Amino acid sequence: MLGKLIFQNLQKFGFPYPIDKSVCTSWAKDIPRGGETIIYTSCMYQTASLSDVFSKFIPYAEKLSSLSALAKLIKPSKEEIERAYRILQNISLMLKRRGVQFGYLYEDEPYSGAILLELGYLDEFGEYAKIVTDFFKQKGIKRIITVDPHTHNALLRYKEFTNFDIEVVSYFELLGNVKARIQGEIVVHDSCLYSRFLGKREVYRSLLNSSGVKLVEDELVTGKDTSYCCGGPIKPVNRELSEKIARLRVEQLKRLSENIVVVCPMCYANLSKYHKILDFAEVVE
């Protein structure tokens, strides 16, 4: 069963598949180790570009005794990892400029388990949630600053399976105000999780509106209940449909502005094959 296989890899490697942990941690500079408040990446930005490759193997994964064979095949490109590092470093710098104090777990940072949750393996997700919750509590962590919607959602869902009582806050909520790095009009592609389930839609929209850029809206394209998904979540099940949705979504957004901004690394990974896409942390400071 795929869920059990992923769970075994999480226990063995701390990630859904074997990966060099330095890929996840080398972005961090001058951040104290640990502490009661941490910035938590779950290695999502660092490995989002690999989702396309990983999804190709999912249909065959249950025939494998382990996913170790994928380690040599699944590596982010130099360009992709450098971009991810710049985004994380800008997030860290924005927080520091606003007086937010935080640490980082470096190679000890666990993965959130989001893939188990989103593939529907709730039993395995629940077991893993208990492991990560115990780890955070052993480290004395009381507040977690997340940088992506999948991780944020996974942590909040821990409460359904374990005694998770750690405060979880998105970095958006700590910025107060930002200044635009670009000029002109932009259109935002919303993360379905942030917009429809986590209540963050107006948080980053308010930041962008006050930053100096002009946010272009169309109820049918960018409305809370009417906007399209990026197509990423269905990729493990139907790659052709996922890519069709992504192409259509990009065409919708381009009608409003050539400057398409996302707030999720997975949305970037799925849409950026069809247009130049910018992350929130690339357009503000």
Compute the distance between CA of residue 68 and CA of residue 15 in angstroms, rounded to an integer: 11
Residue that finishes a domain, picked among 153, 173, 193: 173
Closest CA to 41 of 206, 142, 154: 154
Q: Are residues 103 and 163 in the same domain?
A: yes
Phi-psi group of 274: left, alpha or beta (phi > 0 → left; psi -120 to 50 → alpha; rest → beta): alpha
Domain count for the chain, please give it. Answer: 2
Q: Are residues 246 and 200 in the same domain?
A: yes
Residue that finishes a domain, picked among 156, 173, 190: 173
Contact, 44 vs 148, CB < 8 A? yes
Q: What is the pLDDT of residue 61?
A: 55
Q: Are residues 29 and 153 in the same domain?
A: yes
How many Å is the Cα radius of gyration of the chain?
A: 18
Q: What is the pLDDT of residue 72?
A: 54
Compute the distance between CA of residue 125 and CA of residue 30 in angstroms, rounded to an integer: 33
Q: Are residues 17 and 135 in the same domain?
A: yes
Closest CA to 219 of 243, 187, 250: 187
Write the CB contacts of 194 (distance below 8 Å, at least 6 apart in sequence): 149, 152, 170, 200, 201, 204, 263, 264
CATH for 247: 3.40.50
Tens digit of pLDDT at every position of the chain (285 positions): 677 878 887 888 888 877 888 999 999 989 999 999 999 999 999 999 887 666 665 555 555 555 555 555 567 889 999 999 999 999 999 999 999 999 999 999 999 999 999 989 999 999 999 999 999 999 999 999 999 999 999 999 999 999 999 999 999 999 999 999 999 999 999 999 999 999 999 999 999 999 999 999 999 999 999 999 999 988 878 889 999 999 999 999 999 999 999 999 999 999 999 999 999 999 999
Q: What is the pLDDT of residue 109?
A: 97
| Tens-digit pLDDT profile for residues 2-24 | 778 788 878 888 888 778 889 99
Q: Are residues 157 and 276 in the same domain?
A: no
Q: Please give the torsion angle defined by the CA atoms of residues 113, 117, 120 and 121, in that order, rounded to the nearest 10 degrees.
A: 40
Compute the distance between CA of residue 177 and CA of residue 191 in angstroms, rounded to an integer: 21
Q: Are residues 204 and 218 in the same domain?
A: yes
Identity of the residue numbered 85? Y
Q: Are residues 229 and 250 in the same domain?
A: yes
Q: Interhelix angle for 149-157 vs 122-138, to 10°? A: 90
Q: For residue 142, what are its two tokens?
A: 């009381």
Domain span holding position 207: 177-283
Q: Are residues 126 and 184 in the same domain?
A: no
Q: Are residues 195 and 147 in the same domain?
A: no
Q: Are residues 117 and 204 in the same domain?
A: no
Residue with tokens 């996913």: 67
Write the CB contacts of 99 (distance below 8 Å, at least 6 apart in sequence): none
Compute the distance between CA of residue 234 and CA of residue 133 in angstroms, rounded to an integer: 28
Residue that finishes a domain, picked among 173, 204, 233: 173
HSE, side-chain direction, 13 A CA sphere, residue 2:
17
Residue with tokens 């806050």: 169
Q: Are residues 125 and 191 in the same domain?
A: no
Compute the distance between CA of residue 232 and CA of residue 7 in angstroms, rounded to an integer: 21
To which H or E segment does residue 38 belong?
Answer: strand 37-40
Q: Are residues 160 and 23 in the same domain?
A: yes
